[in-house]
Amino acid sequence: MNQPETQVSNWNLPNVLTTARILMVPVFGWALLHDGGDSITWRLIAFAIFVAAMITDKIDGDIARKRNLITDFGKIADPIADKAITGMAFIGLSAVGDIWWWVTIIVLLREWSVTALRLSILKDIVVPAAQSGKIKTVLQSVALSGLCLPFPHGTAHGGAFDVFGVVGVACFYISQALLAAAVAMTMWSGYEFFASVRQQRAKATERQ
């Protein structure tokens, strides 16, 4: 006789970390946009918050899988937390002039459309995370982290930002190059996701 499955409580460490990431979003946005994005101190704080959010994103997923603490709340809240913090980074960096708005709009449309579709089909179709999506996440995380730092570039920033000198300028444009790669991988992984959903639905229809 099969034993009934134990109900996993929503009050567990992965969900606490996920909730903490969601609560970080407005604090991160405020730090990034403080003084129009021209404060070295607050840009460094924004960088630290963003990196902490990316690390906890990895940690809570690993803990949930290792300890079998996967819950319906976590399945919904985790991608929302991820997209909220990266979305805030894109919007904030566009607001301070470090990312073109059209890039932010395209990326956010892709990210939230994929998340909405994934959540809507959660009970019927399971689409495993593709390698392209993992690469996209890493590229986005590194690029956005770098762009959160107060590096000088062109005429966008001056004064105190110039303490980073030539190294700072180089790091800024390296981050921009990584962002370009992240955008390309974001669109490709989005295409792969929608194609996978179509295939899964076609198979489900054939079985009916």
- For the packed helices 165-207 and 101-120, what is the interaxial angle rounded to 10 degrees? 30
In a domain, 3, yes or no: no
In a domain, 180, yes or no: yes
Is-contact 46 32, C-beta < 8 A?
Answer: yes
Q: How confident is the model at residue 194 (pLDDT cuts 50, 70, 90)?
A: confident
The per-residue pLDDT for 208 is 62
Give residue-wise pLDDT tens across range 17-45. 999 999 999 999 999 999 988 888 999 99
End-to-end CA distance of the chain: 29
- Exposure string for 3-42, b = 16+ CB within 10 A, e = fewer: eeeeebeeebebbebbbebbebbeebbebbbeeebbbbeb
In a domain, 37, yes or no: yes
Give residue-wise pLDDT tens across range 74-126. 888 888 999 999 999 999 999 999 999 999 999 999 999 988 887 787 666 66
Is-contact 115 80, C-beta < 8 A?
Answer: yes
In a domain, 1, yes or no: no
How many domains is the chain partitioned into structurally? 1
* Whole-number Cα distances in Å, 154 to 31, 95, 114, 169, 172: 23, 17, 35, 8, 10
> SS3 for 138?
helix
Token duo for residue 27: 């604090």
In a domain, 196, yes or no: yes
In a domain, 6, yes or no: no
In a domain, 7, yes or no: no
The per-residue pLDDT for 4 is 47
- Exposure string for 186-200, b = 16+ CB within 10 A, e = fewer: beebbeebeeebeee
CATH number of residue 88's parent domain: 1.20.120.1760
Domain that residue 203 falls in: 13-207
